[in-house]
Amino acid sequence: MKPLAAIFLICTSLFSGLCASAQSRPNIIYIYADDLGYGELGSYGQKKIRTPYLDQMAREGIRFTQHYTSTPVCAPARCMLLTGRHGGHSYIRGNYEFGGFSDATEGGQMPLPEGTVTIGHMLKNAGYTTAAIGKWGLGMSTNTGNPNAQGFDYFYGYLDQKQAHNHFPTHLWENGKWDTLGNAGIFVHRKPDPKDANPFDYYIGKDYSIDRLSAKALDFIQKNKDRPFFLYLPFTIPHLSLQAPEEAVKPYINKFGDKPYLGEKGYAASRYPRATYAGMITYMDRQIGKIFALLKELGLDENTIVMFSSDNGATFDVGGADTEFFNSVAGLRGKKQDLYEGGIREPFIVRWPGKTPAGKVSDLVSVQFDMMSTFADIAGVKAPDNDGLSLLPTLTGKSGQKEHPYIYFEFPEKGGQIAIRYANWKGVKSNMKTDTAAKWELYDLATDPSEKKDLSPSHPDIIQYLDGIVKKEHRQSHIHEWEFIAPKFKAGD
C-alpha cells in the first residue's frame, strides 16, 4: 500500500470513529405543552379528548404520576426548566411583561440576563446542535434574552408570549428575523362586532402557527440526523385563544353539546369552544406522531430520548375553555396560577426504545428543574450548579435513584404563594402579600390528593420543619414585585 493511501485510510478510520462516538450520544427531544392539565391525555385518564400518539408513547415508555412543574405560569416555568432552578432561586419568578399585544408594541417578557447558563449552553458545549422551536417568553432577539445568545443554535417561533395568544399570527421569528405568515392582523382580545353576520371568521387565518412549528422541528431533525442534537419544542397548545383549522375541530363537532362563545371572558370568540379545545390537543398530538415517524424513518428512534410535559396546570375557565367539562385536572385542586396540585402536577412521559422500560408507571416525586441534571447525565457531562437531581436511573430502570428530601415552590403572583412537597406531605401558604402571618395548610397526599382536609393543627412539628425549609431555600428576588417572603421595603417606598 502506498504511503498516501495508508494515511488516507488511517485518517478516514479515525474520523469515522469520532463520528460514531459523537452520534452514540443520544439525541434529546423535550416537548412542552402550554397549559395542558394533568388529566388531558388518554394515558392520564382523559375520556373525551383523543391523544393516540402520546398514549402510545406512554405504552412504549415511562409515565410519571407525581411530576411537577417548577411554578404554575408560563415564563418562569420556562426559565426554571432551562436553568435548573426552583422558584426561590430563579432569576425570573413571574410573568413580567413589556410592551403590548400588537405587532407595533411587541416587547416580550423580562429577559434572561447575560451570563445565564441554560440547558442549551450545557448541551451545546457537549457537542450537541441545539434548537428551540415554539414559545420562548424569556426575552427578545434585541436583548440579553435572545435564544441564540442563550445556548440555542437555532430558534423559530414566538419570542413574546403575548403574541402566542393568537395561533394565527402575522409573523413568527427565525433567528432574530421576522418571518411573515399568510394571516391578516387578528386582535384576539377584541370582542365580536354584533353587526357581523359571522363573528367567528375574524379569528381564523390561513397559516396555523402549530403547522409552522411542526414543520421546522421536522426539518431540524432531518438536517441534523448525522450528529447529536437537542430539540426543545415548547408548543403553544392548548393555551387560549381557542383557534384551530376546520380539520382539527370537525371530528368533535356535535359531540359535546357546544354553545357558541362570544368573548364574554376574553380571548377569541369560538363557534364550537369545547370541540375546538379538544381539537387543538388532538392536533398537537398528531404533530408529535409525525416526529416519531420521522425518527423511525431516519433510523434515529433507538438513539433518541423523547420527553413530554406541560408548563403548568390547566387554564382557568376563561376564553371559552371548560376544563370542568373535560376533568382537565383529574380531580385535583387548583389550576394554572395555583400551587395546589392541579396547578403544578404535570403529565410527564419519557420514551427511549431499548433504554426505558416499556409500559412502566413511576410514582417518583420529580420536578422539571431536574431536567438540567438529567440531560447532563444523558450526555455524559457534568451539570452546572442547579437545584435538581438526575432522573436517569429511573428512566433506564436501574438502581441508585436519588430522591428529593423535599421540593420547594415559590410564586409571587395571585397574592403570593409558597408550597413544599415533603414525602407524602404538602404544605401550602396563600395570599402572603396581604397576610404576612398567613398560616400553613397541610395535606396528606397519600390519602387526600385533592387537598381537601387541612391537617396543620395536628402536626406542629411538620409546620416547624416547613418554616425552616423556607428560610433555607428563599433568596431575595432582584425586583420588588416578586419579593413577598422577606420584603425589605413596603409597597410605595
Q: 201-219: string of b/e by CB count within 10 Å (b at 16+)?
A: ebbbbebbbbebbbebbbe
What pLDDT shows up at residue 197?
80
Q: State the pLDDT at residue 467.
A: 98
Read off the pLDDT of each residue in 84-95 and give the average, rounded to a whole number.
Answer: 98
Q: Pairing mode, if any, of strands 62-68 and 345-351?
A: antiparallel
Position 489 scores a pLDDT of: 67
The domain segmentation of the chain, as residue ranges, is 25-395, 407-482
Q: Confidence class of residue 277 from pLDDT cuts 50, 70 and 90?
A: very high
Sign of the four-CA dihedral 414, 473, 365, 120? positive
Q: Report pLDDT digits (tens) over 283-326.
A: 999 999 999 999 999 999 999 999 999 999 999 989 999 999 99
The C-alpha atoms of residue 93 and residue 286 are separated, in whole angstroms, by 32
Specify the CATH number of the domain 407-482. 3.30.1120.10
77 to 208, 282, 311, 317, 378: CA distances (angstroms): 25, 24, 6, 20, 22
Tell me, rounded to whole angstroms, the distance of Cα 199 from its chain centroid: 32
Q: Is the pLDDT of residue 23 over 60?
A: no
Q: Rounded to whole angstroms, how far apart are CA atoms 328 and 486?
A: 35
Percent residues over pLDDT 70 in the chain: 94
Chain mean pLDDT for the chain: 94
For 423-444, what is each residue's pLDDT tens digit? 999 999 999 999 988 999 999 9
User: Positive or negative, the Cα torsion across 355, 361, 367, 368?
Assistant: positive
- Mean per-residue pLDDT, 397-423: 97
Contact 371, 396 (CB under 8 A): no
pLDDT band at residue 4 under the 50/70/90 scheme: very low
Has residue 492 got a pLDDT over 70? no
Mean pLDDT of 385-402: 97
Of 46 and 487, the one with more pLDDT = 46
pLDDT for residue 15 is more than 60: no
- Separation of alpha carbons 357 and 398, rounded Å: 10
CA-to-CA distance for 101 and 487, rounded, in angstroms?
A: 31
CB 85 within 8 Å of CB 93: no
Q: What is the dihedral of CA 77, 78, 84, 88, to 10 degrees?
A: -40
**Interval 64-71 mean pLDDT:** 98
How much is the average pLDDT of 208-231?
98
Rounded to whole angstroms, the Cα distance separating 330 from 318 reads 19
Residue 15: count of CB within 10 angstroms of its CB: 10
- Among 358, 360, 355, residue whose Cα is nearest residue 303: 355
Pick the CATH number of 25-395 from 3.40.50.720, 3.40.50.920, 3.40.50.620, 3.40.720.10: 3.40.720.10
In the structure, what pLDDT confidence band is assigned to residue 6 with cuts at 50, 70 and 90? very low
How many Å apart are CA 321 and CA 397, to the nearest integer? 39
CA dihedral of residues 68, 75, 277, 209 (deg, nearest 10): -130
Q: How many CB atoms lie within 10 A of CB 6?
A: 10
Say whether pLDDT at 3 is over 60. Answer: no
**Average pLDDT of span 38-61:** 98
- Among the residue ranges 10-24, 236-250, 398-412, 452-466, the one predicted with the least confidence is 10-24
Give CA–CA dist 486/471, Å, rounded. Answer: 10
The phi-psi region of residue 458 (left if phi > 0; otherwise alpha if psi is between -120 and 50; otherwise beta) is alpha
Under the banding of pLDDT at 50, 70 and 90, the label for residue 476 is very high
CB 79 within 8 A of CB 90: yes
**Mean pLDDT, residues 230-254:** 98
Cell, residue 429: 401558604
> Quick one: pLDDT at residue 104?
95
Q: Answer yes or no: is pLDDT of 456 > 70.
A: yes
pLDDT-based confidence at residue 2 (cuts at 50, 70, 90): very low
Question: CA–CA separation, 322 vs 456, rounded Å?
Answer: 33
C-alpha Rg value of the chain to the nearest Å: 23
Counted residue by residue, the chain has a size of 493
Give the count of alpha carbons within 13 A of 375, CB side only: 33
In angstroms, the CA 71 to CA 312 distance is 7
CB 342 within 8 A of CB 35: no
